[in-house]
Amino acid sequence: MKHIRNFCIIAHIDHGKSTLADRLLDFTGSVTDREKQEQLLDSMDLERERGITIKSHAIQMDYTYKGEQYVLNLIDTPGHVDFSYEVSRSIAACEGALLIVDAAQSIQAQTISNLYLALENDLEIIPVLNKVDLPSANPEEVTDDIVDLLGCDPSDVIPASAKTGLGIEEILSAIIERIPPPTGKEDAPLRALIFDSVYNPFRGVETYFRVINGSIKKGQHIKFVATDKNYYADEVGTLRLKQFPRNEIKTGDVGYLITGIKEAKEVKVGDTITDAKNPTTEAVPGFEDVKPMVFAGIYPVDTEDYEDLRASMEKLQLNDASLVFIPESSAALGFGFRCGFLGMLHLEIIQERLEREFDMTVITTVPNVSYHAYTHKHPNDVILVNNPSDLPDPSSLDRVEEPYIKATIITKADFVGPVMSLCIEKRGQITNQTYLTPERVELSFDMPLAEIVFDFYDRLKTVSKGYASFDYSPIGMRQSKLVKVDVLLNGNVVDALSALLHFDNAYDIGKKMCEKLRQLIPRQQFDIPIQAAIGAKIIARETVKALRKDVTAKCYGGDISRKRKLLEKQKKGKKRMRQVGNVEIPQEAFMAVLKLND
């Protein structure tokens, strides 16, 4: 056991985690020349296309150091704020972490929040200064920033370059010398933590685990504590680039388990695996339940695919435990699911993965957050408002509370003005402003989560020319003045386009929504009025004009009354059509409501 080291790599997005993992794999000879490719651990097509890590990946390496053979279990983690839950799970399976900081960009908001996650779990931190070979690198200055943040010695910071392979040997020796070996009792009953799982259509659910006490053998009779179900371990093994079957995985090691489970519901991330005959008395403390930030409805295009969609979501949930969903139905879209996501990028990725991995074409409704409403009759009973249609009648409404977050933004001093005005426009209140260095400022805001859901992140990148980094954590509910804005098409309310908005923004957004929809809804044989309303009060209106046949083309000259007669007849027909006609809304219209500032 003293020759095992479990560690993960944490950093802000794009600071070189995956490339550094590639170099470590090269250096330890874990991959052959044929298998080599850039960002080797990013195995999903989506990750390669976007150049971001979405899933944490576990891989095992062998390394000989001072004549002794060591086993290194590396978990590469995502850097984007939306996937921080993924990071927290990886950290739970490790004893140490490589904290990577880009020598050109210095410390960013996500670096700090991932670092705090690691420190809460008592991980040994090894700071690595990456990309020192860049012409724009500032190694001395950034080393000072790291020393201030960690309180470590400047000599502890390892300068490296994942591109050229500089400093890789020093990193490996630091991992072996500084990170403590796993602690655990080899003779105790089996106790292992599930930190990830994936669905394999041929073999059922593959579970990734870390053994804390005891050992797990092939063919052993095992039990999952949370679901209280027993299985046989058909195959256990370690995770190399491909799976490597073994007869036994011992204390402190990381591996995979195949038991032929076909039901996705039976495996829970954070669960404990133990021996069925001699179970452990205490379960491993699992992960905290994930708190979704953004909610949206996902509906199948064809209502008959509802059950297939449910099965696909369950399989996807195995691989991404931060996805939460419950069934719901909508008048316009039929049966579907209300899903909770950690942010807008997460929502986009889930939608893409459903389409690619499971061939499901889905419609996504406008993302929103959960509000708390209180009525005059029962001022202490919370009514959870997930959909605008859940909001009680305005006459009986006492107050509405909305979720607030604490946003931390780190940016260059030149962009403080634009960043502040963006946050104030989004109803943010500044709580703190500190200069980390003369060039870099950390701003803290209390902001309503609803304002961040749409386009905040994109606009923050725009106003700061890509230099601001953003991180947030929830701070509870606060009272707010919210109204429900309905969109009426041809006099009928479209519940999928309704939104809960702050009173001050309702008029502007209602007007913009109508204008946007007018461009997107195809013209029909009759006029389509598009209206935005608060309760019974119409606040904005646009009209999609009818397509018309030129009925007066055959009238040459003659009396005007002949033309008028034909036009009146046409008008009557159009009016009748409008009463029976219904309007098809294209999928772009649902998503366009999000991009009102484009």
Residue numbering of the annotated binding site = 14-19, 130-133
Nearest Cα to Cα of residue 121 among 145, 142, 94, 100: 94
Structural element, H or E, at residue 9: strand 4-11
Which amino acid, one-letter code, is at 399? Answer: R
Spatial neighbors of 347 by CB under 8 A, at least 6 apart, are 294, 296, 339, 341, 364, 367
CA–CA separation, 293 and 403 (whole Å): 9
Q: How many residues does the chain have?
A: 598
CA–CA separation, 598 and 594 (whole Å): 9
Residue matched to tokens 């195949």: 258
CA–CA separation, 336 and 391 (whole Å): 20
Query: With contact defined as beta carbons under 8 Å apart, do 568 and 551 qualify?
Result: no
Instruction: Write the secondary structure of 487-529 as one string of H (helix), E (strand) and C (coil).
Output: EEECCEECHHHCEEEEHHHHHHHHHHHHHHHHHHCCCCCCCEE
- Structure token pair of residue 430: 């500044």
Nearest Cα to Cα of residue 223 among 284, 276, 278, 266: 276
Q: Which residues are annotated as a binding site for GTP?
A: 14-19, 130-133
User: In this structure, what are the phi and psi dihedrals at residue 411, rounded to the nearest 5 degrees?
Assistant: -150, 170
- What is the DSSP-derived secondary structure letter of residue 450? H
Q: Could you please report the per-residue DSSP string of 456-491?
A: HHHHHHHHTTT--EEEEEEEEEEEE-EEEEEEEETT
Beta strands per DSSP E along 313-463: 324-330, 334-341, 362-364, 371-375, 383-385, 397-412, 429-435, 440-448
Query: With contact defined as beta carbons under 8 Å apart, do 520 and 586 qualify?
Result: yes
